Amino acid sequence: MDEDRLKVLVKLTQDGQFNCVENNMKTYGLMEAARDKHFGSSGDTLVHYAARHGHLDILDYLLKEVGTNVEVYNNDYKRPLHEAASMSHLACVSYLLQMGAMVDSLKKADWTPLMMACTRRNLSVIRELMDYSADPFLKNKDGWNAFHIACREGDPLVVAHLLDVAPDVWKTKSKTGRTPLHTAAMHGCEEVANILLERCRYASDDKDSCGITPFMDAVRNGHISLAKLLLEKHQASPTAVDTIGVQPVHQVAVTGQEGALCFLVRELQVDVNQRATGLEFTALHYAAKEGHASTIKTLLDLGADLQARDKKGRTALHMASIGQHAEAAKTLLRFGLEDYPDASGITARALARKTDVLQVFDCS
């Protein structure tokens, strides 16, 4: 019976019904049972629920009257402070800190409350944590610090504040070698990228462990204005290569960013038929392999060589068949690409396995 009544307390706590929580505790003598009770697969306590939903009165009651420890943790090692910070509940954050919560406690994957706060655009919570000496230089298991996370979320006020308080916090890389500038570029956070370029000293075309530059991140995700910012303020190269010899023109073909393709070829005069090292794919090969029929049309309009062959003598039609992309194969055939065998004598049709792809060749 107590188990059922405790479950009722969870709902009452989530809903913020303080009087009902208090009455149920006293009426059924649940204070001792509820003090350290962990619920469900998450292992949350009532304090976690109160902090997550921002119910300060219930939080105060649970800590002071019921006697739950302010550092109680769930199965992910999240403390109440993690919950309050992640949901931007300033009053709860302030209260927990006043009650002695450890400001830099770690949950699973080594996330601090400050990191959790930086996933939200709430400068007040971040200020409060840093007023209690939260360390913005700590890194999680992926090598990201709070500044890196803030740059992903894209709030310029948060990013500027972190730089004001900790001017060297930008000097960080993830375990895969990615800088906050990479992250801002990938997510199209142009205002943040502008702050980083003005206030930080990132090297032009700094590469992560895969050889990706911030400019590559910007264009392959379709953030053209941010890419222009990197060209103008950071002297980014539109033809840099990653670790496998792929250039931005190839990357945008993979992601099907046709606006970025036009920007690279028409405005920056990048060679649309530039080959990646290794297998010597062109952008057309990559677009066909991914099945981007519309991107294939755009590439051909930009002057892509329909007959281009890779190192193994394969055309874009072979790539479309390897990927089992019927529409891409149909588009290439419609534009006049014939099913020539590759260097090993294998035709694109021979690589087709799906019925709809085979029908494309049979009807051509």
- Residues 126 and 11 placed together within one structural domain of the fold: yes
* Domain ranges, residue 349: 238-364
- Residues 128 and 245 placed together within one structural domain of the fold: no
CA-based nearest residue to 10, from 87, 43, 73: 43
Tell me, yes or no, whether 259 lies in a domain.
yes
CA gyration radius for the chain?
A: 28
Return d(Cα 287, Cα 276) in angstroms, integer.
13
Tell me, yes or no, whether 147 lies in a domain.
no
The residue count of the chain comes to 364
pTM: 0.94
Tell me, yes or no, whether 163 lies in a domain.
no
pLDDT score recorded for residue 262: 98
pLDDT score recorded for residue 363: 87
**Domain boundary, last residue among 135, 166, 181:** 135
Tell me, yes or no, whether 205 lies in a domain.
no
**Domain boundary, last residue among 105, 135, 165:** 135
* CA angle centred on 185, ends 258 and 288, rounded to 5°: 30
Tell me, yes or no, whether 190 lies in a domain.
no
Phi/psi at 100 (nearest 5 deg)? 95, 15
pLDDT score recorded for residue 360: 95
Return d(Cα 113, Cα 354) in angstroms, integer.
50
- Residues 7 and 129 placed together within one structural domain of the fold: yes
Tell me, yes or no, whether 75 lies in a domain.
yes
CATH number at residue 27: 1.25.40.20
Tell me, yes or no, whether 322 lies in a domain.
yes
**Domain boundary, last residue among 97, 120, 135:** 135
User: What is the tally of structural domains in the chain?
Assistant: 2
Residues of the chain whose pLDDT is less than 50? Answer: none
Query: Residue 266 in 3-state DSSP?
Result: helix
What tens digit of pLDDT does each residue of 184-213 get? 999 999 999 999 999 999 999 999 999 999
pLDDT score recorded for residue 1: 60
What tens digit of pLDDT does each residue of 115-154 get? 999 999 999 999 999 999 999 999 999 999 999 999 999 9
- Cβ atoms 140, 172 nearer than 8 A: no
- Residues 2 and 127 placed together within one structural domain of the fold: yes
Tell me, yes or no, whether 176 lies in a domain.
no
Residue 44 pairs with which residues in a beta bridge? 39
